Amino acid sequence: MNGLKKIGTNFYIEEIKGKKPIKYIANEKILEQIEEGVYRQARNVILTPGVDDVVITPDAHHGYFCPIGCVAASKTIISPGAVGVDIGCGMRLILTNLNVHDLRTNGEINRAQVRALMDGILHDIPLGEKVRSFDTKTQSELFDIFRGRRSSDDPEIREHRPFRISKDIPVMEHLSGDVIKRAMKSVGSLGGGNHFIEIQVVEEIHTDIAEKWGLRKDQIVAMVHSGSRNLGYQIADYWVTTTRKKFDRLGITYLDRDGMYMGVDTPEGQHYIAEMRSALNFAVENRAVMAKYVMQNIEKVFPGVKMSLLYDVCHNNAMLEEHFGERFWVHRKGATRALPPRHPLLKGSRWFNTGHPVILPGSMGTASYIMVGVDSEGNRLSYSSINHGAGRVMSRKRATKIITQEQFERALGNVLMNARNYRSVVDECSLAYKDIDEIIDSVVVAGLAQVVAKLKPIGVIKDDTSHRAPGWRRRKKKR
C-alpha cells in the first residue's frame, strides 16, 4: 500500500517529513487500483511551498502536476495546476415531473421517444470542438459573463453566486482575438472528452432528503456535465508558462513543470484568481444555457411537462473557505465540495438544514449518484470534499486499443447513445473507469457523505468525433 498507514475505515495517510500527512480515501479494492503516479504527484503537491494539506479522493488518477481527484489547501498560495485546465467543469441536474412510465410503451422504454429527445438536443447543442452558429454572445455580453454581471441562474441553485470582478483588474487581455471570438460562440456548447448530457431515471431513493429536494423514485431527470471549454485551458496554460519563466529567471526550483504557484496577495495571484473566477462564471453560464435547450426539447417531446433545476456544482476550482478556524484557499481538482447540514458556508441558503446536493456521475452507461455531505470528522478532514466521478483506470490510448466492440456494447447495455461508431467514444467506455459503486462505498463507509438517490441512464449524448477536446499538452519534465 505504498507505505500508507490506516487511521480509520477507508481512511489512510502517508507520512511526509516536515509536512502534514497526505490523506487517502479509498476502500481496499480502490486502494489497489491507485497508480504509482498518483502517489508521486500527491507528494509533489504537499511539498509545494505554501501548500498546507492534501487529500486524495477515491477516483484519483494521474493528471498534470496533481492527480485528478485531489484537494489541496493553502493559506498563502494559489496554484493553477491544482485547479486544473477545465476551470469550472461541473455538473447540473434538471428535474421533471415525468415518470418512467410516461416513456414506456407495452412495458418497454419507448426508444423512439428517447431518440427524438436526444436528436432535438443534438440539433441545439454543439459537441466536441464545434461552437454555436446561432445565438452567440457579443463581446460585451461575454465580458459581462466573465465579470459576473450577466447570469441566467437563480443563485440558490448553484455552488457559488456569480463572482463580481472589479473593472480595476484586467481579465483575458492576454488571450488572442480568436480565443475570445471562439468563447463568444461557445456559451451553450458541450465540448468533448468525458463531458456528456444524459437522460436518466431515478432508480433508488435512500433518504427523505430526496423528497425535500424534489427527487422521487422512477422520476425522469437530465444531467449536464461540461466546463469552460478552451477558455480554462488558455488561462491555465498562460499562468503556468508565465510563472515558470519567472521562476527560471529568478532561479526558483520546482518539482514539476506544471506545479507553478503565486502568493494570493501578489499582483499575479490576484490576477489569476480574477481570471479563474471569470472562467467559473463562464462555465456555470455555459451549463445554464445548455440546460435551457435541454428543457426546451423535453417540452417539445412531452408538452406540458413541469421542470426545475436542482443544483449546479463544480469540481475544478479554488474557493476561499474557513476550516479548523482558519481561512484556506481550497483547490479541488476533480473533487466536489460536500458541505453537510448546518455548515456555516450554507447559512442563509435553502440548503442550510439539509446540506447541498452533490452530483456525481458514473461512467458511460453506469449509475450516477446524488449525495450529501455528512457532519463528521472525516468530512472535516477532507475539507468537506469527496470525489467528482468514477476516475479512470485505463488511459484513452489503451482503451482505444484493447476494448472490443462486443465489450463496449455489453458494457453500454440498453442505454441509447448518439454515436454511430463505437470507436469514436470507446475511450469513454465504463471498462476504462473505476467501478462507481466501489467509489461511492469508499466515501460512504468513510463517513464523508451519504447517498440521497441513485440514477440510471437511458440515453447519453457525448462528442462522437474521433478528435477529443484539447487538454494540457504533454511537456518534458524538468527537475
Read off φ and ψ for residue 401, nearest 5 degrees: -80, -40
Half-sphere exposure in the Cβ direction for 138 (13 Å, CA): 4
Residues 61, 331, 388, 467: which is the catalytic one? Answer: 388
Q: What is the DSSP letter of 474?
A: P
Q: Would you call 388 a catalytic residue per the annotation?
A: yes
Is the CB of residue 433 less than 8 Å from the CB of residue 12? no
Is the CB of residue 198 less than 8 Å from the CB of residue 223? yes
Nearest CA among 279, 165, 269 for reference residue 230: 279
Burial 288-308 (b: 16+ CB within 10 A, else e): bbbbbbbbebbeebbeeeebe
From residue 430, alpha-carbon distances to 74, 77, 309, 436 in Å are 34, 37, 27, 9
| Kind and range of the H or E run holding 285 | helix 267-301
Nearest CA among 393, 427, 408 for reference residue 29: 393
Grid look-up 424534489 returns 214
Concatenated DSSP letters for 156-170?
Answer: GGBSSPPPPPPTTS-
285 burial level (CB within 10 Å; 0-12, 13-18, 19+)? buried
Beta strands, E only, 125-243: 196-205, 219-226
Residues acting as catalytic residues: 388
